[in-house]
Chain A
Amino acid sequence: MGKNRINIGHTLTEQTKDKIFGYLLLLPTFAVFAIVVLYPIVYGIVMSFFNYTFFTINKTPTWNNFGNYINIFNDGFFQYLKNTLVFTIGTVGIELIVGMGVALLLNLSIRGRNLLRSLFLMPWTIPSIVVALLWSWLFQAQFGIINYVLKFFGLIENANTEWIQSPSTAMLTVIIAVVWRQAPYMLVMILAGLQSVRKDLIDAAAIDGAKPVKIFFKIKIPAIRAVLGTTIITCVMSSFQQFTIIYNMTAGGPLGKTTTLSIAAYKKAFTNFDLGSGAAIGVIWLLILGSAITIYNIKTKRFDVE
Chain B
Amino acid sequence: MISKKSVCKRIFLYLTILLLLCLFIFPIYWMIIASLKDNSVLMRNPPQLYPTFSTFDNYMTMLGNAKYLGYIRNSIIVASGTVIVDLILSVLGGYSLSRFNFPGRKTIMIAILSAQIFPVVVIIISLYGFFSKMKLMNTYTGLVLADVAMSLPLSVWMLKSFCDNVPMSLDEAAKIDGCSRWKTLTYIVFPLLKPGLLAIGIYSFLMSWDDYLIALVIMNKSGMKTLPVGIAETFLGEFGFDYAGMMTISVIASLPVLLLFMIFQKYMVSGLTGGAIKE
Contacts and interface: CB of A to CB of B under 8 A. Distances in A.
Given A41-B118, A41-B123, A127-B253, A33 B149 contact: yes
A262 B149 contact: no
A89 interface: no
Contacts of A281: 121
Given A4-B164, A22-B99, A193-B277, A269 B13 contact: no
A19 B102 CA distance: 5
Interface residues of B, number: 104
A43 B164 CA distance: 36
Interface-centre pick from A234, A248, A282 (highest chain B CB count, 10 A) = A282
B152 A32 contact: yes
Contact of A278 (B115, B121, B145): B121
Contacts of A193: 276-277
Nearest to B259: A125
Contact of A286 (B47, B119, B132): B119
11 contacts: A18-B100, A19-B103, A29-B93, A44-B122, A57-B132, A130-B253, A132-B232, A262-B121, A278-B121, A282-B119, A289-B117
Interface of B: 13-14, 16-17, 20-21, 24-25, 27-28, 30-31, 34, 42-47, 88-90, 92-93, 95-103, 105-106, 108-110, 112, 115-130, 132, 145-146, 148-149, 152, 156, 164, 168, 171-172, 175-176, 181-182, 185, 206, 209-210, 212-213, 217, 227-228, 231-232, 235-236, 243, 246-247, 250, 253-254, 257-258, 260-262, 265-266, 268-269, 272-273, 276-279
Interface of A: 1, 3-6, 8, 17-19, 21-23, 25-26, 28-29, 32-33, 35-37, 39-41, 43-45, 47, 57, 102, 105-106, 108, 110, 114, 116-123, 125-130, 132-135, 137-138, 140, 142-143, 145, 148, 159, 180, 184-185, 188-189, 192-193, 196, 226-227, 230-231, 234, 237, 240-241, 243-244, 248, 261-262, 265-266, 269-270, 275, 278-279, 281-283, 285-286, 289-290, 293, 303, 305-306
Given A110-B14, A303-B110, 19 more contacts: A8-B171, A8-B172, A25-B95, A25-B100, A25-B185, A26-B108, A102-B20, A128-B210, A129-B227, A133-B246, A134-B27, A137-B30, A143-B42, A189-B273, A193-B277, A244-B213, A261-B119, A262-B119, A278-B121
